Amino acid sequence: MNMRNLSGGTALRGPAAQRGVGRLKAILWTSLFLLLVYVCFKIVPIYFADYQLQDKMQETARYASAFHKPEEELRETVFREVQELEIPAHREDVKIEYNGHTVRITVHYTVPLDLFFYHTEMHFSPTSENRSIL
């Protein structure tokens, strides 16, 4: 017996219909996975660069508090790292507070994030502080 739907065609039932739904699910899951990979490919390097900058700032703050380096030398060291990491910040964005035995380094910057379906800006403010024990 052949089942017909309202339009006059044959209605899919059984294994043939299940294969069609299975293919659609596979296409949707694959598309979702590729979208996730694309988003990670765009976002992970931004966070990794921020992490590397924070690490360099901590190292610089420790070094500065131990050897009492001038502010401009510290600013130049941090800004050189900013340039190497290709972070969109300017020399003026690197703030150095040097009062007595405490060194505080802060960098404020914004990274544009352009996904083909979404555009936004990510704001970062890494800070490092170190106190001299002497």
DSSP 3-state assignment of 29? helix
- Does pLDDT of 86 surpass 70? yes
pLDDT tens digits, 28-41 = 999 999 999 999 99
Q: What is the pLDDT of residue 100?
A: 76
pLDDT tens digits, 87-99 = 999 999 999 998 8
**Cα Rg for the chain, rounded, in angstroms?**
27
pLDDT tens digits, 43-71 = 999 999 999 999 999 999 998 888 888 89
Q: What is the pLDDT of residue 1?
A: 46
Q: What is the pLDDT of residue 36?
A: 93
pLDDT tens digits, 4-16 = 555 555 555 655 5
Separation between Cα atoms, residue 117 and residue 65, nearest integer Å: 46
Separation between Cα atoms, residue 13 and residue 114, nearest integer Å: 44
Percent of residues in the chain assigned helix, strand, coil, to nearest 5? 50, 25, 25
What H or E segment, with its residue span, contains residue 124? strand 118-124
Separation between Cα atoms, residue 10 and residue 90, nearest integer Å: 67
- Does pLDDT of 82 surpass 90? yes
For the chain, domain boundaries: 46-131
Of 110, 109, 108, 105, whose CA–CA distance to 72 is shortest? 105
